[in-house]
Amino acid sequence: MALDLSMPILVVDDYQTMVRIIRNLLKQLGFEDVDDASDGTTALAKLKQKKYGLVISDWNMEPMTGYELLRHVRADENLRSTPFIMVTAESKTENVIAAKKAGVNNYIVKPFNAQTLKTKIEGVCGA
């Protein structure tokens, strides 16, 4: 199954540089409909307003972290099926296991390259 390049993607990160990097990588992959949010609270509000095909989120943000966002998404009947990739500098095993238990679809440790992001998106969104 080919990637649906028209699917809206929500990038959640409190560092605008990282948002810009991911936006550029997604653009190079062919995705045009990309929104962003600077923390979990803002992201959750956006997720309730628009149907996204994928969430790519950082972990460490305030006031709501990416981990809390993930748990909110998985607890919400309307959002729980949304694919969710964590892209974070948190690289302790306990973080990866906690995210997996909470229902994350994949986990990327920063710094990462375009190929890693592409592979994970393909794996999660079904290429």
Binding site for another protein (CB under 8 A): 17, 20-21, 24, 27-28, 59-60, 65, 67-68, 89-98, 100, 106-110, 112, 116
Tell how far CA 115 is from the center of its chain.
16
The C-alpha atoms of residue 55 and residue 9 are separated, in whole angstroms, by 6
Q: Shortest distance, CB of residue 83 to another protein, whole angstroms?
A: 13
Q: Kindly list the distances between the CA atom of residue 10 and the CA atoms of 57, 63, 94, in Å, as whole numbers in the listed order.
A: 8, 18, 25
Q: Of the two residues 31 and 59, which places its CB atom closer to another protein in the complex?
A: 59
On whether the CB atoms of residues 82 and 57 are closer than 8 A, the answer is: no
Residue for token pair 């969104």: 125
Q: Of the two residues 13 and 90, which places its CB atom closer to another protein in the complex?
A: 90
Q: Shortest distance, CB of residue 50 to another protein, whole angstroms?
A: 25
Closest to 22 in 3D by CA, of 119, 113, 107: 113
Q: Shortest distance, CB of residue 76 to another protein, whole angstroms?
A: 19
Q: Of the two residues 75 and 97, which places its CB atom closer to another protein in the complex?
A: 97
Q: Of the two residues 79 and 109, which places its CB atom closer to another protein in the complex?
A: 109
